[in-house]
A and B are shown apart, each in its own frame.
Chain A
Amino acid sequence: MSTIPEKAAETVTPARKPAVPAEKVKPKGYSNPALQAMGIPRLRLPSRNWSIFWAVLGLTTGGIVYDKYEQKQLRKRWMSYVQPQSEAEVAPNVKPRRLTIFIAPPPNDFLTESLRYFKRYVKPVLNAGGLDFEIFTSERQGDIRVHVADQIRDLRRNATAFKQVELVKQKNEAYKRSWGYWFSKFNVFKKKEVVDPNATKSVKQCYTPADVFGINYKTKPMAVEYEDAQFENPHDAGGIICVGRGVYKEYMRGVHEGLLGPLEQPKVEIVEAVEQVVVEAETSAAIPTLDTTLAPATDEASKSDFRYNGDVDDLPNANLKSKPPVKAPYISAEDYATATLAPEFNFSTTIRDHNNVPVFFELPIFVLRIPNILGFLNSPQRIYRFYTKRWIADEFNKGAVAVALNAKRPFTPADADLALVEETDWPKKWVASGKEKASEWTRDFKVDHRVTSRMFVYDATLLELGEKKDQT
């Protein structure tokens, strides 16, 4: 018996270091001496590669999430300033304050980009404030100018027609007060009017929808009233928002052309129509096209929001080729000084249309700069802007609140440079080619004092917000 243990002792391999009794499972992974020094129990840290991966992923998504969160908070805050306005009561026959908004694609890019800025940052505030708005979009340079100038020329023509109607009305009223009318009423020898029993009327003339609806059994339909016509300060009505510096230039040129230019197209040499410069917009299948009528026309069916009208099936090139070329301006910028200001209007008071609503070009303007930047070499700048959209959101929301709350001041000559910052973002090649072709957006921008002295501008720095309002 004594030999076996000896033999066993001989054959047994040299003793290993005894394992720590408390530890049952040997931990995998690396142990960090720094953590050990701090007394933190063994942690399983990821490897270097995984750490890099999670760090990069975390930073990118974290940046986006934080930015979106901040944007949302800002939006809620700015909306709360205008929310009380939208809770006011409105009678069924009153149409609320109506803005006009002009949107065009940024240089060398799609209209959806501009629309996105508008939809995300301006529209929520306008809707929260209970403002109605009408959007005019264009896809090529010059459409907005032509539209604005046409509207003003129509107004000028209607103004003369309207004056005639007023004169006739006054004459009739004078006649009614006269002796001749009195006598004709009581004239016994007057022939009786004969009603033709066979005269037919169409069905549509025999009734109006209001005669059939049950709701009108007790209440009579009232004449439409416009809130815009009832403001004490006529410049509180409506408003214009130009989304982009190019749009602003076109709008101003349109107003100048309408007010200073002739009513008919001058039969001088045909100025070559400006070509489509937004190249990539031609290939977009989802170009929204909408034309709406600005205020003074009698049809009430003007739409208050845009809709995408472009058919996916249509060839984009065909779509654009079928449009007539942009009309040349009726008056060039050099002739502004020598032209006469529209003689049809009475400029001593605010010009109003037949509904007593102040006409659109009398109303204050707000210009938004679109921070759209293109190009591979601009990638760092673009990434930086991608992560700091909350600052743009703040700027746009604040501007929309200024429009909603009517923070305005008269136009000064320095305001011809509103949103000039945007031009630093325009692609240089695009600008150079535009200058060669003398395109609308790159031409020199001149304003006439007679037109701009009547204008107002919304200014976000004039906002007096008081205490922050809590959301209810």
Chain B
Amino acid sequence: MDQLNAKEQQEFQQIVEQKQMKDFMRLYSNLVEKCFTDCVNDFTSNKLTTKEDTCIMRCAEKFLKHSERVGQRFQEQNAALTQQMQR
């Protein structure tokens, strides 16, 4: 059922790339929402304060590093799981 021939493989590769692009967009909007929720809570002015500014920068960096780390561990766990299932 899940064997793909050469043509199908090409199609599949394209789909994989599209998915990655989509997920990247989703990640971006999710990140914006998260940092806004966590950092920006004061609406006395319509410009971001320096405190909020630094908070947002840190939030974004931290989230990206966190995602990277989770991605790495996910890969490892997934590989281990498939290995286990094949035994």
Contact = CB atoms under 8 A, between A and B. Distances in A.
A200 B5 contact: yes
Contacts of A14: none
A216 B12 contact: no
Contacts of A438: none
B20 A300 contact: no
A159 B3 CA distance: 37
Nearest to A301: B80
Contacts of B4: 200-203, 206
A208 B23 contact: no
Interface in B16-36: 16-17, 19-28
Interface in B29-87: 64-65, 67-69, 71-72, 74-84
Given A92-B72, A215-B67, A197 B77 contact: no
Interface residues of B, number: 38
A212 interface: yes
A201 B21 CA distance: 24
Given A207-B16, A215-B27, A199 B5 contact: yes
Contacts of A195: 6
B75 A208 contact: yes
A217 B20 contact: yes
Given A198-B5, A199-B5, A210 B75 contact: yes
B72 A93 contact: yes
A211 B22 CA distance: 12
Contacts of A301: 76-77, 80-81, 84
Contacts of A212: 16, 19-20, 23
B68 A215 contact: yes
Contacts of B25: 214
For A202, A206, A222, the residue with the greatest tally of chain B CB atoms inside 10 Å of its CB is A206
A215 B76 contact: no
Question: Helix, strand, loop or mixed for chain B's interface?
Answer: helix
A93 B68 CA distance: 8
A95 to B, nearest CB: 9
Given A211-B16, A214-B22, A215-B67, A299 B9 contact: no
A217 B12 contact: no
Given A201-B9, A211-B16, A214-B24, A299 B64 contact: no
Nearest to A90: B69
A207 B18 CA distance: 13
Contacts of A211: 16-17, 20
A204 interface: yes
Given A93-B72, A203-B12, A299-B83, A216 B77 contact: no
A132 B33 CA distance: 32
Given A206-B4, A214-B20, A215-B64, A300 B76 contact: yes
Contacts of A209: 71, 74-75, 78
Given A197-B6, A204-B82, A207-B12, A221 B24 contact: no
Contact of A224 (B28, B68, B72): B72
Nearest to B21: A217
A219 B68 contact: yes
Contacts of A213: 20, 23, 67, 71, 74
B65 to A, nearest CB: 6
Nearest to A221: B72
Nearest to B28: A214
Interface of B: 2-6, 9, 12-13, 16-17, 19-28, 64-65, 67-69, 71-72, 74-84
The 4 residue pairs across chains A and B that have the minimum distance between CB atoms: A214-B23, A301-B80, A214-B24, A200-B3
